[in-house]
Amino acid sequence: MAQTSENVTWLTQEAYDQLRAELEHLTGPARAEITQKIEAAREEGDLKENAGYHAAREEQGKMELRIRQLNQLLERAQVGEAPADNGVVGPGMVVVVAWDGDEDDTTTFLLGSREAASSELETYSPQSPLGRAIDGRKVGESAGYELPNGRKANVKIISAKPYQG
């Protein structure tokens, strides 16, 4: 599949390595541990009323979901070099936008994956309505998009700089 900014997740090498390590833990030791919990609970008898068994199965379901999410994320990851510092918005950029042209009402966020950002920086997906509206636009340009409630919003791009981690 050709990678476009629509389906690429930009990650620093550090973020990629952390996610890869989490995946390896979940598919190795964590899977073995949950299998042991399920087997131990199964040996206790009647599964209909066995809270330990049901809790372990629920934990297993959540873990398998996270494994699928990580696999998908890592398959789409673009690792390493930050995007070019050319004022064009794209994944991996820290963007400042002004709402409805009001230069005093601004929001700063990372256009990218939540896994790539620190907890101090708000993150918007490139697939979000705002992300799609500004992706590929230049500093100084305006973009409009539709909010989930059906109303329209307009933003002006104030700055776009590569995320430094």
Higher pLDDT, 6 or 134: 134
Confidence class for position 3, pLDDT limits 50, 70, 90:
very low
Tell me, which fold does domain 9-79 have in CATH?
Helix Hairpins (1.10.287)
d(CA 165, CA 146) in angstroms, rounded, equals 30
φ, ψ at 11 (rounded to 5°): -130, 145
Tokens of 146: 């539709």
The whole-model pTM stands at: 0.58
Task: Give the start-to-end residue ranges of the domains of the chain.
Answer: 9-79, 93-162
* Crossing angle between the packed helical segments 13-25 and 51-75, to the nearest 10 degrees: 150
Task: Say what the pLDDT of residue 34 is.
Answer: 93
35-68 pLDDT, tens per residue? 999 998 888 877 777 888 889 999 999 999 999 9
CB of 157 closer than 8 Å to CB of 97: yes
How does strand 142-146 pair with strand 123-124?
Answer: unpaired
Higher pLDDT, 12 or 119: 12
Radius of gyration over every alpha carbon of the chain, rounded to an integer in angstroms: 21
d(CA 27, CA 91) in angstroms, rounded, equals 28
Average predicted confidence (pLDDT) for the chain: 83
Q: Into which CATH architecture does domain 93-162 fall?
A: Roll (3.10)
Quick check: do 9-79 and 93-162 share a fold?
Answer: no
135-152 pLDDT, tens per residue? 999 999 999 999 889 999
4-35 pLDDT, tens per residue? 455 666 677 777 888 899 999 999 999 999 99
d(CA 91, CA 5) in angstroms, rounded, equals 7
Task: Measure the N-to-C terminal CA separation of the chain; round to a whole number of Å.
Answer: 28
Task: Say what the pLDDT of residue 4 is.
Answer: 44
